[in-house]
Structure 1
Amino acid sequence: MLSKTTLSALILSTTFLSSLAHADIKIGVVTSSTGPIALVGIPQKNTVALLPETVAGEKITYIPLDDSSDPTATVKAFKKLIDEDHVDAIIGPSGSPNAMGVIQFAAESGTPMLAPVGTAAVVLPMTEQKKWVFKTTQNDDLIAAALVDQMKQSGVKTLGLMGTADPYGENWAKVMKSLTEKAGIKIVASETFQRQDTSLTGQSLKILMASPDAVLIAAPGSSSVMPETTLKDQGYAGTVYQTHGAALDAFLKLGGKQVEGTILAASLMLVLDEVPDSASKTIASQYVSDYKQRYGENPATFGGNVYDAGLLLANAIPTALKSGQPGTAEFRSALRDALEQTHELAGTQGVYNITPADHSGFDERGRELITVKNGKWALLH
């Protein structure tokens, strides 16, 4: 006959094993909902409430953390999620510099990281560490190719660049140098700035002195506005192009009449009423509707990047569950492998086809040429 002590221990052990067998799937979410890139991070944080709650009969628990736009705080958040919360995957962070600083921790722990950031440097060139990272925004070269084609068709011969002095702006400068050379467009001036700068007079004057036919501004969120308004204040009359980093309604509000005529390539989310029907349009429309019902306003496309991360994980989880239980290294590894096999998955931003060489997975269906017309986003015709 079992003693009371032995019986109690057996019951506790059985309960523990049972809890392991039915452990929730844990997903960490790190966003910059405060600080300089809050315009990017707030819609991403808000989107967590709209992510799938159950997949394949398994409950998903989301653990949201704010890094205040600070790369050091991002590292602390990632370490907490990995070491203390033992998450199965992490969505985030919001900023490109923040993301570059935590790739090693995702890789060392074998935790899939879905980065809703702009720079392609988080997944290119592919390395042993970066194979744990998946990017839910369009790679720079896909967006840049559309812009350079438009420049060429418009007769642009000379171009000025103004970008952030961080991985986002740096990678854009690299991509544009290659594409413009092939297109016969000469970069006559290239200036950088910090996202938190309060004056860009010096950089703008140097751009103006070079008299380029057009200027491309490579900056995410609210930092995309001041370079353009400063150029306009100083009398620049050429065409201004922006990257998908400027694809948010706050850009229109902050820039006002000075950003009229801006051209960018970005997600169909900005012009849902104008694009033809597609699976992505259906998903994006549902996301926008749900977000607006909950928060009373439309989400920025950056929120859609987190929503798509949730869709990618939901698509991969059933396959991963065949190889391991949530909370185990086997499950995380299988989840990474399943994400890498994503095929023709429609999201709010386009359609994902992820391969070992391409951890973003977008094609031309992930971009539209868009302009600012009468203070609103409109398809460029």
Structure 2
Amino acid sequence: MSIKKLLASACAVAFVALATPAHADIKIGVVLALTGPNASLGIPYRKGVELMAKEIGGEKVQLIFLDDASDPSTAVKNAQKLIADDKIDILIGGSNTPASQAMGNVTSQAGVQQVALAPAAFPADKNKWMISMPQPANLWAGALVKDMQKRGVKTVAYIGFSDPWGDIAYNGLKDAAEKAGIKVVTNERYARADTSVTGQVLKIIAARPDAVMVGGSGTPGALPHIALAERGFKGPVYATPGVFNQDYLRVGGKAVENVVGVTGPIGGADQLPDTNPIKGVSKDFIKKYEDINGKGSWNSFAAFAYDGVLTLQDAIPRALKKAKPGTQEFRQAVRDEVRNVKNLVGTNGVYQFPDGSSYGVDERSVILVQVKDGQWKYLPN
């Protein structure tokens, strides 16, 4: 073969190589509290995310985990690093509302789909790049207030975190209580790292409420329950979905006995009718999770993360038909296809995410539970 023909052949091969789209991993950054006060949430969230398929639509999936040490400012730095340095296509996190909200400013500016595992939202006109897997406060607070009405509660005191989650829980309670004719008589706050809430609880006792709601999450959410028990409060006490795990029960001990909480339907999956599609998805998740982590290890936080995984596994194959990973076009396609998810059955609800809304569930996402003999038990309506 002549040199001229060899050069022509080489050029043809080079052209074909350039014309053929290169395969690229789907890079998903995950920012969670793996240490610090919120690690009791972050660690199970991680285990739920790790149930992600290793390959989606013929492309390999690469998960990049970073620990924010329960610090929202560190979460922001991690998100910035993942977007600028690792060139991620999608971000999952954070473990709590402050971190999720703070990272939301970063992901929206960069045009990266964020899947928040804690309640988080922006105004509808700014809420384009973030979805949140848990139930919105109006749903779970409304369920708790209905229970208060059944018990004849006329006044309720509130104590919660001095951060966005505390605000979400308070506002949810206030709105639902006012509609039910129940008066909220206190709005006490404490920091997640605090070791005492004696002053706040004394103010609650002085207000003489019929009931108390604690707007906490994780193990720090047990602190007010302990203080209320020490002061001999005998009325019903309520908790948010953020404490539905074993660590809260361990730390709270006898002080959280009889606490009424709220969670997704997976919390009573074994009691759902066989015709409910959530039951089958929940059983599948529990088996997958326990096969890896041991019998009885499943929890609602890992389940929310799993629902986020299911959402992405539903949206990504459609996005891959529009663009390749590693491009802004793919980021946009993922965002668009997440918003096109319809009636996706998860462990904690049936999901779809309309434009302008962070949340994707309805009333089917909420059940009541109560601590009995140191364990969460389904509480029928």
Q: Shorter-chain TM-score: which interval?
A: over 0.9
Q: Does 1:234 align with 2:231?
A: yes
Q: 1:10 to 1:271 in 2, by over 3 A?
A: same
Q: TM-score, normalised by structure 1?
A: 0.93
CA RMSD of aligned residues (A): 2.1
Q: 1:357-376 counterparts in 2 under 5 A?
A: 357-376=356-375
Match of 2:61 in 1: 60
The more displaced of 197-206 and 262-271 is: 262-271
Match of 1:352 in 2: 351
Rounded Cα–Cα distance in structure 2 between residues aligned with 1:243 and 1:235: 22
Match of 1:86 in 2: 87
| Long gaps (5+) in structure 2 | none
Say if 1:200 and 1:227, in contact at 8 Å, map to a contact too: yes
1:135 to 120, 132, 152: 132
Rounded Cα–Cα distance in structure 1 between residues aligned with 2:211 and 2:11: 74
- Any idea what SS the aligned residue of 2:273 has? coil
Match of 2:293 in 1: 295
Q: 1:207-226 counterparts in 2 under 5 A?
A: 207-226=204-223
- Any idea what SS the aligned residue of 1:189 has? coil
Rounded Cα–Cα distance in structure 2 between residues aligned with 1:90 and 1:72: 16
Q: TM-score, normalised by structure 2?
A: 0.93
Match of 1:48 in 2: 49
Q: 1:51-200 counterparts in 2 under 5 A?
A: 51-118=52-119, 122-128=120-126, 130-200=127-197
Rounded Cα–Cα distance in structure 2 between residues aligned with 1:6 and 1:72: 56
Match of 2:31 in 1: 30
Rounded Cα–Cα distance in structure 1 between residues aligned with 2:62 and 2:4: 38
- Any idea what SS the aligned residue of 2:62 has? strand
Say if 1:271 and 1:377, in contact at 8 Å, map to a contact too: no
Say if 2:197 and 2:224, in contact at 8 Å, map to a contact too: yes
Say if 2:51 and 2:309, in contact at 8 Å, map to a contact too: no
Q: 1:184 to 1:65 in 2, by over 3 A?
A: same
Q: 1:238 to 1:6 in 2, by over 3 A?
A: farther
Say if 1:221 and 1:245, in contact at 8 Å, map to a contact too: yes
Report the alpha carbon displacement of residue 96 of structure 1 after superposing the two structures with TM.
Answer: 1.0
Match of 1:264 in 2: 261
- Deviations along 1:90-125, one digit per CA (max 9) or x if unpaired, are 11111211111111210111100000013xxx3242
Q: 1:200 to 1:320 in 2, by over 3 A?
A: same
Say if 1:37 and 1:69, in contact at 8 Å, map to a contact too: yes
Say if 2:253 and 2:374, in contact at 8 Å, map to a contact too: yes
Rounded Cα–Cα distance in structure 2 between residues aligned with 1:321 and 1:360: 24
The more displaced of 308-317 and 255-264 is: 255-264
Rounded Cα–Cα distance in structure 2 between residues aligned with 1:329 and 1:161: 44
Rounded Cα–Cα distance in structure 2 between residues aligned with 1:168 and 1:280: 27
Q: 1:253-332 counterparts in 2 under 5 A?
A: 253-277=250-274, 278-296=276-294, 297-332=296-331
- Any idea what SS the aligned residue of 1:64 has? strand
Letter in 2 for 1:360: Y
Letter in 2 for 1:126: A
Rounded Cα–Cα distance in structure 1 between residues aligned with 2:37 and 2:217: 10
Report the alpha carbon displacement of residue 220 of structure 1 after superposing the two structures with TM.
Answer: 1.0
- Deviations along 1:301-330, one digit per CA (max 9) or x if unpaired, are 111121111110110112212221111111
- Any idea what SS the aligned residue of 1:156 has? coil
Moved over 3 A (4+): 1-18
Report the alpha carbon displacement of residue 12 of structure 1 after superposing the two structures with TM.
Answer: 7.8
Report the alpha carbon displacement of residue 15 of structure 1 after superposing the two structures with TM.
Answer: 5.7
How many positions carry a matched residue from both structures?
376
- Any idea what SS the aligned residue of 1:29 has? strand
Rounded Cα–Cα distance in structure 1 between residues aligned with 2:61 and 2:221: 35
Letter in 2 for 1:210: A
Q: 1:275 to 1:377 in 2, by over 3 A?
A: farther
Rounded Cα–Cα distance in structure 2 between residues aligned with 1:303 and 1:147: 23
Say if 1:123 and 1:131, in contact at 8 Å, map to a contact too: no
Say if 2:267 and 2:367, in contact at 8 Å, map to a contact too: no
- Deviations along 1:9-60, one digit per CA (max 9) or x if unpaired, are 9978876775x52112111111111111000000111223211122222221
The more displaced of 275-284 and 320-329 is: 275-284
Report the alpha carbon displacement of residue 365 of structure 1 after superposing the two structures with TM.
Answer: 1.1
Report the alpha carbon displacement of residue 363 of structure 1 after superposing the two structures with TM.
Answer: 0.7
Rounded Cα–Cα distance in structure 1 between residues aligned with 2:357 and 2:140: 15
The more displaced of 201-210 and 64-73 is: 64-73
Report the alpha carbon displacement of residue 268 of structure 1 after superposing the two structures with TM.
Answer: 2.1
- Deviations along 1:242-274, one digit per CA (max 9) or x if unpaired, are 010111122222222221111112112222222
Match of 2:240 in 1: 243
Q: 1:6 to 1:258 in 2, by over 3 A?
A: farther
Say if 1:135 and 1:359, in contact at 8 Å, map to a contact too: yes
**Percent identical residues:** 38
